[in-house]
Amino acid sequence: MKIRKNGFLKTGGIMSLVLAAVIVTGFFWTPYGTTAMNAAEKTLPPSLHHLLGTDNFGRDVLSRVISGAGTSFLIALGVVAVGCISGVLIGSLCGYFGGIADAVLMRVCDAITAFPAILLALVVVSLFGGGMANILLCLGLLFIPSFARVVRTEVARVRDTNYIQSARLMGVSTGRILLRHILPNTFPVLLPAVTIGFNNAVLAEASMSFLGVGIQPPQASLGSMLKDSQTYLNTAPWYALGTGGMIVLLVLAVSLLSEGIQQGTGRGQA
């Protein structure tokens, strides 16, 4: 993969690293306390003291944006981990063995993907309650079908190649064939799926918080902050711009990175 000639990968990588550094720093330090209110500093415009201004409670918008991005980042990582690990396991078994189990599991995946993911997530979270753990688990389960399909297709393509058949004739165990010979071949298609899944998870978490069933106040969340900022679009537009800008930057950075990975692996063209 030639990084110097891959503009998408280079730009997306730099943006992702900068955002990751800001988010990680935010876990340990922010300019102001994310829940610290100050009635005397309500809806102040951006200044040297508050680079993105303050919100309707006098809280520093920059500090809350950084904290909210950290929340979205952690949830997205967890969602991708749950969806990817489970999807790789299911997709590998279905693609390698086929048969009735493959047909049943793929029909279950079809049933899950037939409904809007956000709608299903809203129903599940409404029934079992909000909170980071429930949101992470709920979205992770809904992301399993997309990863399972990608892996299943690639495993089914590779399983009948000559070197896999030779490994079987040599008595290599099924587990070793999957782990050492087949799964490494799924990485070129799995990496873009992971980056796309991360983006979708960020947007899904923000959407749920925007609708009031995601991360609950006073914990900072980009979705809930964007919702709160609607009331102040005319009087304090920096509130919405700062929050929405962080969502755009997160999605854009990972999208560019995904496009760069696809181009670098020769899959950038349809």
Looking at residue 258, which CATH number applies to its domain?
Answer: 1.10.3720.10
Question: Can you give the pLDDT at residue 2?
Answer: 53
Beta-bridged to residue 60, according to DSSP, are: 54
Question: Can you give the pLDDT at residue 87?
Answer: 92
Q: Give how many domains the chain has, as a whole number.
A: 1
- Ranked by mean pLDDT, which of 17-31, 125-139, 175-189 comes out on top? 17-31
Question: Can you give the pLDDT at residue 262?
Answer: 75
pLDDT, one tens digit per residue, over 154-178 is: 888 888 888 888 888 887 788 888 8
Question: Can you give the pLDDT at residue 265?
Answer: 64
Quick one: pLDDT band at residue 187, thresholds 50, 70, 90? Answer: confident
On whether residue 2 sits in a domain, the answer given is no
Question: Can you give the pLDDT at residue 183?
Answer: 85
Long-range Cβ contacts of 31-35 (<8 Å, 24+ apart): 31/60, 31/62, 31/63, 32/59, 32/60, 32/62, 32/63, 33/59, 33/63, 34/59, 34/60, 34/63, 34/64, 34/67, 34/218, 34/220, 35/59, 35/218
On whether residue 257 sits in a domain, the answer given is yes
On whether residue 206 sits in a domain, the answer given is yes
On whether residue 270 sits in a domain, the answer given is no
Question: Can you give the pLDDT at residue 4?
Answer: 58
On whether residue 197 sits in a domain, the answer given is yes
Structural domain containing residue 237? 7-37+48-264
Question: Can you give the pLDDT at residue 90?
Answer: 92
Average pLDDT for 65-94: 92
On whether residue 1 sits in a domain, the answer given is no
Contact (Cβ atoms closer than 8 angstroms) between residue 255 and residue 12: yes
- Ranked by mean pLDDT, which of 6-10, 121-125, 155-159 comes out on top? 155-159
